[in-house]
Structure 1
């Protein structure tokens, strides 16, 4: 929604100011189809040539993510902290025997299934389950654990950023592609140098539409979408850092509730539950765990 409002403001102000200054839309509308074909076709073709098919597909999905925004809402962070409390408490009380069934089949676990939105993020669930499973086989050195977790997050984040980098590269190249389209228009104009001044003026104006479109698409469309996607990816990576913080604190021997509280401090400020809110959620979690059959 907010993206659509932004684009309407861009188009309204750019073309509105042009019309108010006495500009003739006929020149732009006449040149728009073939200039857009040259610029759009060249940029999309270069995008395909310069990236793997996987990155191209991910970029398409990334545009959708840029329009929809981040997946994680305020309640999801509270649910994640509660989930971490559940699994770490189960691990501490029952050891590997108690936690392994939940880690092997999280979709069937009565812990994970309580949080369907988190369970739907299979990358995060695999991340949590894999490292807790490693702790069941005595991989408990906090320093090694922290390094392994950080490297895993960095790798995943790097892969997630590939389509964003590709879109940003397209945005950076659009002004130059616009110049290519403009030069073609100038070549066309020079081939009709014997025409009246009125016709030549329209042809030169049409050629300059190429430069205009390249800059407009770069700085007002593709560039902002790439920046929005970067923010979305960064936001969606925060749960991995929260899970990492809780797991490391647990591996260092901190009480479960303290480990989760430390993780709470890593939650983005605008979505961070208060200490009291988290305490209430964890109290409910404790009661739910107590009520579970042995």
Structure 2
């Protein structure tokens, strides 16, 4: 919702201020379709040229994040901590039972209680792979932590590709606007014998290209790239929480301590409250009993 409000505000303030200052929209509206075809078409073509089909699809899906916001909500972090708490308790009391959950999470009644987490393949794989490592008696938790760190860094870099691609387009739009403006000037020079009022409109139309390139770059595409990056990085905290809790488990801390380590390392605006989490963990213990 805030993304839509931002777009409306950008257009309202820019064009509203222009009209309030006495500007005429007629010349912009007359030139806009042609300038937009040149600038927008060139930008899309450059984007397609610089990215493969998978990256193009990935970027298309990520643009929706500007309006949807982060995937993981505070209640999802609470559910994740409850799931990890239950898995750690089972793994320590009955490793055989834990193995059934780890090897077949889709058929696990425990994972089934948290469908949003189960629906995220990376989160499930991260949990199961790390728990599997713990069952293999790794004697160096720092080694596991390093592997997890590299894995998450790789995943984050891949996820951020769409943001980088959009930012590249934003960086190129002002130059494409200049290209369109130069073409407009060339057109104007070919009609130099026309009266001043006609030449003025033609020069104004050419300048629309420069305006449009800068406006699209800094008013829309650039902010889109920044917002996509922000959302992806915030969702990354979900996977970092998994790492924090399961590495603490490898250090043989008490299950409650492992969960508190994860909770404390979650950013404040999405961190589950202590009392709320305690109530949820009590429910997990009752279900286990």
Q: Which residue of 1 aligns with 2:75?
A: 75
- Structure 1: distance between partners of 2:10 and 2:239: 36
- Alignment map for 1:2-21 (pairs within 5 Å): 2-21=2-21
Q: Which residue of 2 aligns with 1:214?
A: 213
- Alignment map for 1:4-83 (pairs within 5 Å): 4-83=4-83
- Structure 1: distance between partners of 2:144 and 2:163: 29
- Structure 2: distance between partners of 1:137 and 1:74: 32
Q: Which residue of 2 aligns with 1:158?
A: 157
- Structure 1: distance between partners of 2:51 and 2:156: 18
Stretch deviating more after TM superposition (11-20 or 274-283) = 274-283
Residues 149-181 of structure 1 deviation map (CA, whole Å, 9 limit, x = unaligned): 101110110110011100011111111111111
SS at match of 2:243: helix
- Structure 2: distance between partners of 1:174 and 1:9: 21
Q: Which residue of 2 aligns with 1:89?
A: 89
Residues 118-167 of structure 1 deviation map (CA, whole Å, 9 limit, x = unaligned): 11111111111111112222234211011011011101101100111000
Q: Which residue of 2 aligns with 1:114?
A: 113
1:229 aligns with 2:211: no
- Structure 2: distance between partners of 1:93 and 1:43: 59
SS at match of 2:193: coil
SS at match of 2:65: helix
- Structure 2: distance between partners of 1:186 and 1:128: 61
Q: Considering only aligned residues, what root-mean-square deviation do their CA atoms show, in Å?
A: 1.0
Q: Which residue of 1 aligns with 2:244?
A: 245
Stretch deviating more after TM superposition (187-196 or 273-282) = 273-282
- Structure 1: distance between partners of 2:194 and 2:83: 75
How does the TM-score come out when normalised to structure 2? 0.98
Shift of the alpha carbon at 1:224?
Answer: 0.7
- Structure 2: distance between partners of 1:79 and 1:104: 20
- Structure 2: distance between partners of 1:55 and 1:67: 20
SS at match of 2:80: helix
Q: Which residue of 1 aligns with 2:258?
A: 259
Point out where structure 2 has 5 or more consecutive residues left out of the alignment. Answer: none
Point out where structure 1 has 5 or more consecutive residues left out of the alignment. Answer: none
1:184 aligns with 2:188: no
- Structure 2: distance between partners of 1:226 and 1:3: 12
How does the TM-score come out when normalised to structure 1? 0.96
- Structure 2: distance between partners of 1:213 and 1:12: 15
